[in-house]
A and B are shown apart, each in its own frame.
Chain A
């Protein structure tokens, strides 16, 4: 049985474990129908030209973990930003771990999607927001919607800001030979409220894991959202991250994606600007080696006038790694005075590494500032010799140049400990110790 069939036939079993009377279940059944029609995306589709899901579909994934698996804090501590105090929503093989988590209802809700989808007190919010910005026809999103049950639920009321950043952590224990995870997150940040979120998926063994995640973010007027995605998973772990953001006037949403590993990573990052005078920022650092593959697909839809978007993705590709950047900007006819910037710069440090980069601009307004640029280069030999002539060995010189290349993306990271952590990951990935942080 292929994965699609297996998923469709599992849906009935899934229904035994959820409240089919809840209105969300109508959304699920609609979604599974859509998935059944569409199936997994194939390389024939333009958006999936460079990323194939074929080999993943041949794996016999467990769709529901059989039991609760426990992990010790000491075994997973290093994957969290333990230098600072954070709220934590932790899942082990897709199941919530209250032992490792720290949630809150103190003025804000930082808790579980499973509660939000079942308890009456959340019903109104769910009716207004659930599946309202996520795509209703993109096949992987509909697949997630069909099985949506668990994930992080974050609700920040008007004028509030949680006392500390929120970490969403997913661990896979490898107790299943191969496991499919489908977390579903909902983040609602009301007027003038603010939140910082750090998300990480980590497999702890070499068993296969495929995560198909959907996150919906709603930023109301003047809300501020900082979202950091740390992707440094095992070489047997794959991630399809579908993030949908609905922004209102004067809001500010920044998403940083740090991709340093994993077998296959696909980031579908979609911004919809429903208002004026707002700012959307997408930044990424990708450093890959071995046979790792990362595909960044971004979309910014400028729907109303006077808004900005900033995209800056840097990639360093070594060994046999492959990268994709596809940045789509749509500026509607009425969205005058839009400023949309997009930059994608890449360095290939191996002859066998490849990157496919493509801007996709659909601009229907006439009074806009749009700039885009993509570069693919090698390290500058003259710069390397210059550094060597000052006593910096070639390996360190290369690393320093790569560090510097990625550096400006880190400037906008607003949690110093996250910046420090990313710096360390970059140094580790480049195999050097530079003795200072950039």
Chain B
């Protein structure tokens, strides 16, 4: 479904991703771990199409199509979704209006009419219930004054609304309390199917207890230096990254 080949990316002539190879098939859950500053969020941004990062070598493709020339919004229309590590505040645009615009723009790109208001309301109700989001919340300006946890929950609400093919969750667990973590993870699991894939970026095993990965990758200094099954995450939790960093430099 998502294929990343020898991906190199730089910002302001500083190379951050230094040759990443990763294949994510439909139905799979991949976890990406790694020390701070190793390039996890950069990888997520490059997949989502952030122009600030220049791809100097290699490629990202979705269902066989090279995404190089594809704008971020078109990637979204094709089914790429990024749950931001730091969701951006958009004052003056309510959550509801934002989602209406996002969904209708996606439909427009596919040559469909706007979603009827009634269906839209129904969808919003259904998905906000799934994530146990208060209705009042939806009329607030997007992310403005939201607590850390509220922002993350709202990201997954958006994912639920958009039903992406490949969802990248960048530290969605950080900021969530224990109950919220369960609700959010439960939401993600409900959206999981054999036709879509999830990439979970996290520092902790905790989230992976709920969203169980098929593969765990360790990113270090812009490269995937180790891959394994879900036991790798437990090993990292126990031993930290030093041994991997040492292995990588050998």
Interface residues of A (CB under 8 A from B): 380-383, 385-394, 396-397, 400-401, 403-405, 407-408, 434-436, 438
Contacts of B80 in A (CB 8 A): 389
Q: Is there contact, CB below 8 Å, between B102 and A391?
A: yes
Q: What are 22 A-B pairs at a CB distance below 8 A?
A: A382-B88, A383-B90, A385-B51, A385-B72, A385-B88, A386-B84, A389-B49, A390-B73, A390-B162, A391-B73, A391-B105, A391-B162, A392-B105, A393-B71, A394-B71, A394-B73, A396-B105, A405-B92, A434-B101, A436-B101, A438-B92, A438-B97
Tell me if B93 counts as interface (CB < 8 A to partner A).
yes
Q: Is there contact, CB below 8 Å, between B98 and A388?
A: no
User: Which 3 pairs across A and B sit closest by C-beta, in order of nearness?
Assistant: A404-B92, A391-B76, A388-B72
Q: Is there contact, CB below 8 Å, between B82 and A393?
A: no
Contacts of A401 in B (CB 8 A): 90, 93
Interface residues of B in 38-68 (CB under 8 A from A): 48-52
Q: Which residue of A lies closest to B117 (CB)?
A: A436
Contacts of A391 in B (CB 8 A): 73, 76-77, 102-103, 105-106, 109, 162
Contacts of A405 in B (CB 8 A): 91-92
Choice from B73, B75, B90 contacting A404 with Cβ under 8 Å: B90
Q: Which residue of A lies closest to B50 (CB)?
A: A385
Q: Which residue of A lies closest to B87 (CB)?
A: A386
Q: Is there contact, CB below 8 Å, between B73 and A436?
A: no
Contacts of A403 in B (CB 8 A): 92-93
Q: Is there contact, CB below 8 Å, between B92 and A408?
A: yes
Q: Is there contact, CB below 8 Å, between B92 and A383?
A: no
Contacts of B162 in A (CB 8 A): 390-391
Q: Which residue of B lies closest to A381 (CB)?
A: B52
Tell me if B177 counts as interface (CB < 8 A to partner A).
no
| Interface residues in B, total, Cβ within 8 A | 36
Q: How far, in angstroms, from A391 to B164 measured CA to CA in the complex?
A: 11
Tell me if B114 counts as interface (CB < 8 A to partner A).
yes
Contacts of B114 in A (CB 8 A): 435
A382, A387, A394 — which one has the most chain B CB atoms within 10 A of its CB? A387
Q: How far, in angstroms, from A382 to B103 measured CA to CA in the complex?
A: 20
Q: Is there contact, CB below 8 Å, between A388 and B97?
A: no
Chain B nearest CB from A124 CB (Å) reads 49
User: Given A388-B71, A391-B106, A435-B114, do A400 and B84 touch, yes or no (CB 8 Å)?
Assistant: no
Contacts of A407 in B (CB 8 A): 92
Q: How far, in angstroms, from A400 to B51 measured CA to CA in the complex?
A: 20
Q: Which residue of A lies closest to B100 (CB)?
A: A436
Choice from B82, B98, B101 contacting A389 with Cβ under 8 Å: B82
User: Given A393-B105, A400-B101, A435-B100, do A388 and B76 touch, yes or no (CB 8 Å)?
Assistant: yes
Q: Which residue of B lies closest to A437 (CB)?
A: B97
Q: Is there contact, CB below 8 Å, between B88 and A386?
A: yes
Q: How far, in angstroms, from A328 to B164 measured CA to CA in the complex?
A: 52
Chain B nearest CB from A34 CB (Å) reads 45
Q: How far, in angstroms, from A391 to B107 measured CA to CA in the complex?
A: 10
A382, A383, A389, A408 — which one has the most chain B CB atoms within 10 A of its CB? A389
Contacts of B48 in A (CB 8 A): 385, 389
Q: Which residue of A lies closest to B168 (CB)?
A: A389
Q: How far, in angstroms, from A387 to B48 measured CA to CA in the complex?
A: 11
Q: Is there contact, CB below 8 Å, between A436 and B97?
A: yes
B73, B77, B90 — which one has the most chain A CB atoms within 10 A of its CB? B73
Contacts of B100 in A (CB 8 A): 435-436
User: Given A389-B76, A405-B92, do A435 and B84 touch, yes or no (CB 8 Å)?
Assistant: no
Chain B nearest CB from A373 CB (Å) reads 15
C-beta contact mask, B88-131 vs A, less than 8 Å → 1, else 0?
A: 11111100011011111110010000100000000000000000
Q: How far, in angstroms, from A327 to B212 measured CA to CA in the complex?
A: 60
Q: Which residue of A lies closest to B77 (CB)?
A: A391
Q: Is there contact, CB below 8 Å, between A396 and B101?
A: yes
Q: Which residue of A lies closest to B86 (CB)?
A: A382
User: Given A387-B90, A390-B162, do A435 and B72 touch, yes or no (CB 8 Å)?
Assistant: no
Q: Which residue of A lies closest to B72 (CB)?
A: A388
Q: How far, in angstroms, from A256 to B213 measured CA to CA in the complex?
A: 57
Tell me if B205 counts as interface (CB < 8 A to partner A).
no
Contacts of B98 in A (CB 8 A): 387, 390, 400
Chain B nearest CB from A316 CB (Å) reads 13
Contacts of A434 in B (CB 8 A): 101
Q: Which residue of A lies closest to B114 (CB)?
A: A435
A392, A403, A407 — which one has the most chain B CB atoms within 10 A of its CB? A392
Chain B nearest CB from A245 CB (Å) reads 29
Chain B nearest CB from A345 CB (Å) reads 11
Contacts of A435 in B (CB 8 A): 100-101, 104, 114
Contacts of A436 in B (CB 8 A): 97, 100-101
Chain B nearest CB from A147 CB (Å) reads 43
Q: How far, in angstroms, from A388 to B71 measured CA to CA in the complex?
A: 8
Q: Which residue of B lies closest to A434 (CB)?
A: B101
Contacts of B109 in A (CB 8 A): 391
User: Given A382-B88, A390-B102, A393-B73, do A404 and B93 touch, yes or no (CB 8 Å)?
Assistant: yes
